[in-house]
Structure 1
Amino acid sequence: MQNLEIRLIDLPKIVDPRGNLTVAEGNDKVPFDIKRAYWVYDVPAGESRGGHAHKRLKQLIVALSGSFHVTLDNGFERKTVLLNHPWQGLLIDTNVWRTLDDFSSGAVCMVLASEHYEEEDYIYDYDEFLAYVHHHVMTK
């Protein structure tokens, strides 16, 4: 059985009376080369995002504004973390199912991804995900 580790990464926070600044650089604080960035916003009350896993892609998820919960599931264990600091990111490794919910009003979720978009990298069916990770763990 694999332990599910919550890895929060503090990004550099440069405090300035004119406004704070945070930097995310690939292969530095972000432990992979950043090949894609996207953000999710205007999520209606009660809706969730995510609901999938990746076979190769890694992500760093940051609450740029507001807050939301991220539930991670590795097929053996499930944990939920609140993201609400724009200088802190949640690292999500491969083979981890993720669901984002409880978005506050005005929340903006930025995702930095290690790979370009590839449909075949996604697992959208939870039962298929469980079969995939259990097979993957058993063959290691």
Structure 2
Amino acid sequence: MEKRSSELININELGDRRGLLTVIEEHKTIPFEIKRVFYIYGTLPEVRRGYHAHYKTRQALICVSGSCRVHLDNVKRKTDVLLDSPTKVLILEPNDWHEMYDFSPDSVLLVLSSHLYDPEDYIRDYNKFIEVYGA
């Protein structure tokens, strides 16, 4: 099973006195074809979301409003990433167990996904995740 490293990238912000604009393009800004888009909002600060990894789905996480943190665990590395700007994009690889938390009241977390929803693509048991990606 291919293992890539999740990474935080910055995308360009364009603007003038009228306001700001950020452009996202598949295979340019985002390194995959975008097949699914969803967003998470209205999450209380004490709530953690996620608690899973994937077999094949890659995602791009962008906090387009407010902020949140993402805990990443790829067995060899555990780290936390702060998403607090619409120009910060977390390219989330399938082999990272992830948990989103510490949502600000105005947080809107946009997720761009490389695959359509498939419940069989989710690893929701941490021990199974270790079994799949720990070797």
TM-score (norm 2): 0.93
Query: How far is 1:12 from its partner?
Result: 2.5
Query: How far is 1:75 from its partner?
Result: 1.6
Structure with a larger share of its residues in strand: 2
Query: How far is 1:45 from its partner?
Result: 2.7
Match of 2:98 in 1: 98
Match of 1:84 in 2: 84
Match of 1:42 in 2: 42
Partner amino acid, structure 2, of 1:54 = H
Q: How does 1:123-138 map to 2 (within 5 A)?
A: 123-134=123-134, 137=135
Query: How far is 1:132 from its partner?
Result: 1.0
Name structure 1 gaps, 5 residues minimum: none
Q: How does 1:42-61 map to 2 (within 5 A)?
A: 42-61=42-61
User: Residue 61 of structure 1: SS of its match in structure 2?
Assistant: strand
Off by >6 Å, runs of 4+ in structure 1: none
User: What is the aligned-residue identity percentage?
Assistant: 38
Question: 1:20 aligned to 2:40?
Answer: no
Query: How far is 1:18 from its partner?
Result: 1.2
User: Residue 79 of structure 1: SS of its match in structure 2?
Assistant: strand
Query: How far is 1:4 from its partner?
Result: 8.4
TM-score (norm 1): 0.89
User: Residue 20 of structure 1: SS of its match in structure 2?
Assistant: strand
Coordinate RMSD, CA, aligned: 1.5
Name structure 2 gaps, 5 residues minimum: none
For these two proteins, the number of residue pairs brought into alignment is 133
Which one is further off, 6-15 or 70-79? Answer: 6-15
Q: How does 1:59-70 map to 2 (within 5 A)?
A: 59-70=59-70
Deviation digits for residues 74-132 of structure 1 (CA, Å, limit 9, x no counterpart): 12220001110101100111211000000011101000111111110000111111111
Partner amino acid, structure 2, of 1:46 = E
User: Structure 2: how far apart are the matches of 1:17 and 1:71?
Assistant: 36
Partner amino acid, structure 2, of 1:86 = P
Deviation digits for residues 54-91 of structure 1 (CA, Å, limit 9, x no counterpart): 11000110010011110110122200011101011001
User: Structure 2: how far apart are the matches of 1:111 and 1:6?
Assistant: 14
